[in-house]
Structure 1
Amino acid sequence: MQKLTVTFSVILYAIAVPYLEINNTHVFNPDWTPHVRIHEVWQLITNSVIGVLCLWLVWKKRDKWISTLLSMFITGGFLVAYMLKETYGGSMKYLDGSEKTLAGINIGVLGFGVAFLLLSITLFISAKKRNKMKQH
């Protein structure tokens, strides 16, 4: 299950997010400053490359622990940024006031929230298995 959970998370942050953000609402947004755009592209490239590393680790090297932690850092980092948005003037709404939601919940919060929860559960289960193996 841990392999599939990591894969699901990577699909979200390394494929879905760039797909949703390489357009005129983000990367090519004429209202964004060039400085903001470079940070956006940097974040997309970094997260996608980390995603490729996580897939290699979990499927080729069979290292579920590090790939799960890295995926938790990325998904959890978004959730923390979302929670702190009021402190720095952030928002998930577009300039026209619209927001991508599903069942009234922002899709980023929903997707990364589910991913972070699943990653946390699989990490907890993995840690319990590791501790049992060390005891025997």
Structure 2
Amino acid sequence: MILKKSTITFVILLYAIAVPFLEINNTHVFNPDWTPHAKIHEVWQLITNSAIGVLCLWLVWVKKEFRLSTILSMLITGGFLLAYLIQDFYGGSMKYLDGSEKTILGINIGVLGFGIGFVLLTLLYFRSRKETSLQ
């Protein structure tokens, strides 16, 4: 049970705390090159994802409801991964205007973090389904 709670909490902290920490600065929210319309969408996404994260923490730690928290967290992390995969379609990029990119071992930090998180949540989800069906 503690592994399940810890795994979900780790992923929630990525999207509800780490992402806003990395994006509430001059590269995103306060970027003078961004249009005001893009900025409002960015702040909306940050607030929404963080609020969903708070809900998911409450579900896991208070209600002991793992399935819904896992699914919601998979939607957020998977949504980012899908946006990354189709970035050429809409002209997106994880690179800054100066051509730099935040990476770890040559892998974009968002792809690495959310990729690991999504895989962990997927494993947790299917393991929980298997345990439920065995009961």
Per the normalisation by structure 1, the TM-score is 0.97
What is the one-letter code of the residue matched to 1:17? Answer: V
CA contact (8 A) 1:75 1:115 kept: yes
What is the one-letter code of the residue matched to 1:46? Answer: T
In structure 2, how many angstroms separate the alpha carbons of the residues matched to 1:5 and 1:45?
22
Q: Which has the higher contact order (CA 8 A, sep 6+)?
A: 1
In structure 1, how many angstroms separate the alpha carbons of the residues matched to 2:51 and 2:4?
20
Alignment correspondent of 2:118: 116
In structure 2, how many angstroms separate the alpha carbons of the residues matched to 1:2 and 1:87?
36
* Aligned mate of 1:67, from 60, 66, 69: 69
Alignment correspondent of 2:86: 84
- Following superposition, the deviation at residue 3 of structure 1 comes to 1.0
The alignment status of 1:55 with 2:57, answered yes or no, reads: yes
For structure 2, the 5+ residue unaligned runs are none
Percent of pairs with identical residues: 69
**Greater CA drift, 91-100 or 2-11:** 2-11
CA contact (8 A) 1:2 1:119 kept: no
Aligned Cα RMSD in Å? Answer: 0.4
For structure 1, the 5+ residue unaligned runs are none
The alignment status of 1:37 with 2:39, answered yes or no, reads: yes
Map Cα deviations across residues 70-122 of structure 1 (whole Å, 9 max, x no partner). 00000000000000000000000000000000000000000000000000000
Alignment correspondent of 2:104: 102
Per the normalisation by structure 2, the TM-score is 0.98
The alignment status of 1:130 with 2:135, answered yes or no, reads: no
